[in-house]
Amino acid sequence: MAIIPAVPSFASNDSSLANLQSLSYAVSFLVDMSVRPIWHLYTGSTHAVTANTVTTESFPLVVYDNDLVSDGTGVTIQTAGYYAVETALDFLYSAGTSQRTMAWFQLTAGANNPNLTNGTTKLFGGEGLTASNFTTEDLAMCPADICPYALYPGDQLRVQYNSDTACTRETNLNNSYISGRFTPNFTGRMVRPV
Partner 1 sequence: MTLTIPAVPDLPAGHVVTADEMNQLSSAATFLLGKPVVHVHDGTGGYAFASPMLCWDTKDFDTDGMWSSGNKDRLTVQTPGWYKFWAGLTTNGNGSSVEFFMRSTTGSNNPQGSGVNSTSNWEAAVVASAASPFTSMTVAGIWPYYLYAGDFLTVRASTVSGAAANTYITGVSPSYFAMEWVSS
Q: Which residues bind partner 1 (CB under 8 A)?
A: 4-5, 7-14, 19, 23, 26-27, 29-30, 52, 82, 84, 86, 100-102, 104-105, 123-130, 132, 142-146, 148-150, 161-164, 191-193
CA distances to 15, 37, 39 from 75, rounded to whole Å, are 42, 11, 9
| Closer to partner 1 by Cβ: residue 71 or 86 | 86
Q: How far is the CB of 23 from partner 1 (least distance, A)?
A: 6
- Can you name the residues that pair with 39 across neighbouring β-strands? 65, 188
Query: Rounded CA gap, 187 and 81, in Å?
Result: 16
The least distance separating partner 1 from the CB of residue 145, rounded to whole angstroms, comes to: 5
Please identify, using beta-carbon distances, which residue of 166 and 191 lies nearer to partner 1.
191
Least Å distance, CB 180 to partner 1, is 22
Least distance to partner 1 from the beta carbon of 193, Å? Answer: 6
CA–CA separation, 39 and 188 (whole Å)? 5
State whether residue 52 is helix, strand or coil: coil
Q: How far apart are CA 180 and CA 71, in angstroms?
A: 25
Q: Closer CB to partner 1, residue 23 or residue 61?
A: 23
The CA distance from 10 to 16, in Å, is 9
Sign of dihedral through CA atoms 25, 28, 29, 35?
A: negative
Helix, strand, or coil here: 24?
A: helix
Nearest-approach distance from CB 194 to partner 1, in angstroms: 9
Residue (25 or 182) nearer to partner 1, CB: 25
Between 71 and 145, CB nearer to partner 1: 145
